[in-house]
Amino acid sequence: MPIREIQTKPYTDQKSGTAGLRKKVAVFQQPHYLENFLQSIFDTETTLRGKTLIIGGDGRYYNRDAIYTAIAMAAANGVAKVVVGQGGLLSTPAASHLIRLRGAGGGFLFTASHNPAGPDGDFGIKFNVAGGGQAPEGLTGRIYEHSKTIQRYRIVEGASLDLDRRGMQKLEDTEIEVVDCVDDYAALMQTLFDFDRLRDWFKKGHSLRFDAMHAVTGPYAQRILVEQLGAPQSTVMNGCPLEDFGGGHPDPNLIYAKHLVDLVNSPASPDLAAASDGDGDRNMILGRGIFISPGDSLAMLAAHLHRLPGYRDGLKGLARSMPTCRAVDQVAKALAVEFHETPTGWKFFANLLDAGRLTLCGEESFGTSSSHAREKDGLWAVLAWLNVLAATGLSVREIAQQHWQRFGRHYFARHDYENLSAATAATVMQALADATAHLPGKSYDDYTVALADDFSYRDPVDGSIAVNQGLRVVFGDSARIVLRQSGTGTEGATLRLYLERYESRETALAWETAEALAPLSNIADQIVRIGELTGRKAPSVVT
Residue type, 464: S
Partner residues linked to 209 by β-bridges:
273
Strand 479-485 and strand 457-458: pairing?
unpaired
Q: What distance in Å separates the CA atoms of residue 34 and residue 66, rounded to the nearest whole number? A: 8
Of 352, 372, 542, 380, residue with least CA distance to 461: 352
Q: Write down the catalytic residue from 113, 147, 365, 369.
A: 113
Q: What distance in Å separates the CA atoms of residue 227 and residue 180, rounded to the nearest whole number? A: 15
Which 3 state secondary structure label does DSSP give 161?
Answer: coil
In this prediction, residue 489 carries a pLDDT of: 57
Q: Are 342 and 460 in contact (CB under 8 A)?
A: no
In this prediction, residue 486 carries a pLDDT of: 85
Number of Cβ within a 10 Å radius of residue 9 = 9
User: By 3-state DSSP, what share of the chain in percent is helix, strand and coil, each rounded to 5?
Assistant: 35, 25, 35
Domains within the chain, CATH numbers bracketed:
3-181 (3.40.120.10), 185-407 (3.40.120.10), 409-542 (3.30.310.50)
**Helix and strand counts by DSSP (H, E) for the chain:** 17, 28
Partner residues linked to 338 by β-bridges:
317
Q: What distance in Å separates the CA atoms of residue 350 and residue 321, rounded to the nearest whole number? A: 12
Active-site residue 113, yes or no?
Answer: yes
Which helix (H) or strand (E) covers residue 155, if one does?
A: strand 152-156
Mean pLDDT, contiguous 10-residue spans, the chain (543 residues):
93 90 97 98 97 98 98 98 98 98 98 94 96 92 98 94 97 97 98 98 98 98 98 97 94 93 97 97 97 97 97 96 98 97 93 96 96 97 98 98 98 95 96 97 96 97 93 98 81 92 96 96 96 93 89
Q: What distance in Å separates the CA atoms of residue 264 and residue 272, rounded to the nearest whole number? A: 8
The contacts of residue 534 (CB under 8 Å, 6+ apart) are 417, 420, 424, 428, 495
Strand 122-129 and strand 21-24: pairing?
antiparallel
